[in-house]
Chains A and B, each alone.
Chain A
Amino acid sequence: MPKEIYLVKVGMTMTEGMVSEWFIADGAEVIKGELLYALETEKINLDVDADASGTVRHSVETGINLAPGDVVGYIYEAGEAIPETSLTIAVTEPAVSIEAAPDAQAKPSAPLVAEVTQRLKSSPAARRLAGELKVDITALTGTGPAGRIVEADVLLASSGPGPVKASPLARRLAEQRGIDLSTVRGSGPGGRIVQADLDGLESRPAIKAAGTAGSAAQVIPMKGMRKTIAERMQQSLQNSAQLSMDMLAGMDDAVSMRTQLLKEWEGEARPTYTDFVVKATAKALRLHPQMNSVFAPTGITLLDEIHIGIAVAVAEGLLVPVIRNADQLSLKEIAVESARLASSAREGSLGLDDYAGGTFTLSALGMYGVDSFTPIINQPQSGILGINRIFDGLAWDQDRPIKTKQMNLSLTWDHRVIDGAPAAEFLATVVELISQPYRLLV
């Protein structure tokens, strides 16, 4: 009996993923423990190894979004009858989605195809189109006679270029200007996208600036990390009442203390200003528990534990590894842990639990010279703190201006959870702790 190859589930929040690469070709031999396929999810890329030896048969192509637990192929042990043709072809047929036929997953052979096809009524044209457009036909509801799935159903479900209605001119202009037609609202008859709909959109695509003038625009596919970031950031803004405020922190003491600590801890830890803010924030969250909370329509849950996520820019986008129980860690421990997380994030070797469970997030843009911004809350959290540049500011000694190191902290919070005054109190606590950094050492 062949052994199923599953799309492994990594982390509690994984809802979809894809085989981004098969390391063992269809029909080739694999030895248990050998790398079998590369998994790409919204958050992570992971190499999955084989848990059995035998002949590999792929049942999905690379790049198709699946749910964790879906069968992506089989390993046939020596002596087992191996199907002649690859099941990849059959992915266009409903039978292959094992979810649709849980009772039959043990025998992915011809009889199964017949069985499932019979249960799932669909027109041959619909099946062919589903294959072309890579639509999982088993997930569709048919609108044809007796619930039969027809071509129109597949088109509707497809996110491919098929269903975008646009005039030939609009298509060409969109291509020339690098505009993604799926983001354009059509005003023509039947919602067709016409030339006029593209007017004023010339500057929309971020991609255009990257290309040289006149070169073909490129399209960044909405998948994996980019897709997740897009969805979650938009959702966050749509689903909460976010607002931001800035507060200045005096940094003279932090700067001199860091210089001192760098020497003192040499070879053990290199504290960054972000680490200072992690520690200050963790302490402040203890004093202002409302900021360490999760909103639900039924009530606000104040969280006991304080886990601080730090946004880290990586080539593909953004990762937010989490420093767990930050309030219980010393500044030195925080420095060590944050350095480990940052380098793991850039190497792509973060463990699954390095992401999970953040209760508040920090985002640092100071190294880019930013003085203020409005970070977006990493939901379901209730706040995010933006860390800005340290600069030479002015303070007043009586009537005399004196040069002093300063830094702006930008807090975004969810007004559904906390009002302005308590939010300002929280921010003031962070500022106070940063300005008197010796308090971070106790």
Chain B
Amino acid sequence: MNEFDLMVIGGGPGGYAAAIRASQLGLSVALAEKEALGGTCLNWGCIPTKSLLHSAELLRDLGDAAQLGINLGEVQFDLSVMVSESRRAAEKLSQGIQHLMKKNNVRIFAGDAVISAPGLVRVGEAEILADNIIVATGASPRRLGAIEPDGKLIWGAREAMTPGFLPERLLIVGAGAIGVEFASFYAALNSKVTLLEVAAQILPVEDSEIAELAATAFRAQGIEILTGCSLENLESIETVTALIDGEAREFDAVILSVGVQANLSGVGVDKLGLELIDGFIAVNEVQQTNLPGIYAIGDVTGAPCLAHKATHEAMIAAEKIAGLQPHPIQKKRIPGCTYSYPQIASIGLKEADLKGRPFKVGRFPLYANGKAVVSHQTDGLVKTLFDAESGELLGAHLIGEGVTELIHGFAIAIGLEATEESLIQTIFPHPTVSEAMHESVLNAFGRTLHL
């Protein structure tokens, strides 16, 4: 019999981070993972897709190189190398996690974990006693009614990031972050992409002004955008025939990216009586479930399904278990990033959330930013929202090249509860795109310099 202070189920960015933190705090820790360490994020999400998108970005930049005085002749690409490179990156990082587990004395159990009872976990033949259990099993792509990926022409995210061929005509169902990232990737490789979204705007969780700018940019790249439309049927023979709002359209492949559902099957949830809300595990502010000694973190606890949210919740759970008093996560302070072209990054409230409350909005377009001009990346906007009375930074919404590397500045500001005064007083370096953040704040208070 194996005994640990903590058993973590799932080795993604929530699970492995919880294991490391708990180990740092002196707990004996075990972790169960049925596939590769690093979870969806590292193996089948964030990391490999960013590798593919990096290839696409380079391809796009090289196509524009002549404008900057660099003549390359005809630029060619090899999709299979792009894919294998993305797999290599994922593999390398997963090995890194293995190393971290070893370094932190985290005992790894490979296989499906089942919670037999609070305090008792079974992984294959092994039985593990643990005072505390953290469920960090993540989420999987949600099914779209009866339509299922067949792995050939109808793809889920995994197939979409390991394509066997480059589809000439590609339908992407669902224009959330995953959908638009694939749209950007395949559009860069000259696929004719159709992006289908049932909601009224693409990127439904983003500020509608930003989403509209994104849609304009995508259309300029040749991406067809259908919003407010639903997919009624898919027939896959040699090509895929999609019935969209009664109209039959033909595609060479379809990517389904319509959200995620919690990975609960096999964990033993039903038998335990674990409380769920909308199919996700219900937790309190310190990640405790309704069952004593059982915690849950990350995607399995619901939206936003983001790796950094899982990692943060991991800290909270591990620290709570170790007897510390962690600060609860504040969901309005979780930034979100979409690595499409152009990129989108946001934090906090959207303009539409502020109905009936006095607020100030600042806008600064990247075409007025020096660094963006010299980089030929002038499509973009930094939008900031402030409470008119208190000066609280309520939200920040960015679109443009590189904005995913800027949003943390606003995340820090919101986290430290900076007011507009603190931001205006901050000196931003020149020449950088970050100056647009400063200008946006200035703009909200009628003090823009460069407009």
Chain A interface (Cβ < 8 Å from any Cβ of B): 167-170, 172-173, 176, 187-189, 194-195
Contacts and interface: CB of A to CB of B under 8 A. Distances in A.
B422 A168 contact: yes
Given A176-B389, A176-B390, A195-B392, A168 B327 contact: no
A168 to B, nearest CB: 5
Contacts of B327: 187-189
Top 3 A-B residue pairs of the complex, sorted by shortest distance between their CB atoms: A167-B417, A169-B417, A168-B419
Given A168-B418, A169-B391, 14 more contacts: A167-B416, A167-B417, A168-B416, A168-B417, A168-B419, A169-B390, A169-B392, A169-B419, A172-B391, A172-B419, A173-B390, A176-B389, A176-B390, A195-B417
Contacts of B422: 168
A38 to B, nearest CB: 39
A187 B392 CA distance: 18
Nearest to A177: B390
A168 B389 contact: no
16 contacts: A167-B416, A167-B417, A168-B421, A168-B422, A169-B390, A169-B391, A169-B392, A169-B417, A172-B390, A172-B391, A172-B419, A176-B389, A187-B327, A188-B327, A195-B392, A195-B417
Nearest to A188: B327
B418 A169 contact: yes
Interface residues of chain B: helix, strand, loop or mixed (majority): loop
A167 B393 CA distance: 13
Q: How large is the interface on B (under 10, 10 to 19, 20 to 34, 35 or more residues)?
A: 10 to 19
A434 B417 CA distance: 62
Contact of A170 (B389, B417, B421): B417
Of B327, B392, B417, B418, most buried by chain A (CB within 10 Å of CB) is B417
Nearest to B416: A167
A193 to B, nearest CB: 9
A187 B417 CA distance: 13
A41 to B, nearest CB: 40
Nearest to A189: B327
A189 B390 CA distance: 22
Contacts of B392: 169, 195
Contact of A194 (B390, B417, B419, B421): B417
A279 B216 CA distance: 90
Interface string B70-100: 0000000000000000000000000000000
Contacts of A194: 417
B158 to A, nearest CB: 39
Contacts of A170: 417
Contacts of A176: 389-390
A167 to B, nearest CB: 3
Contacts of B390: 169, 172-173, 176
A289 B324 CA distance: 54
A347 B388 CA distance: 48
B27 to A, nearest CB: 22
Contacts of B418: 167-169
A176 B327 CA distance: 26
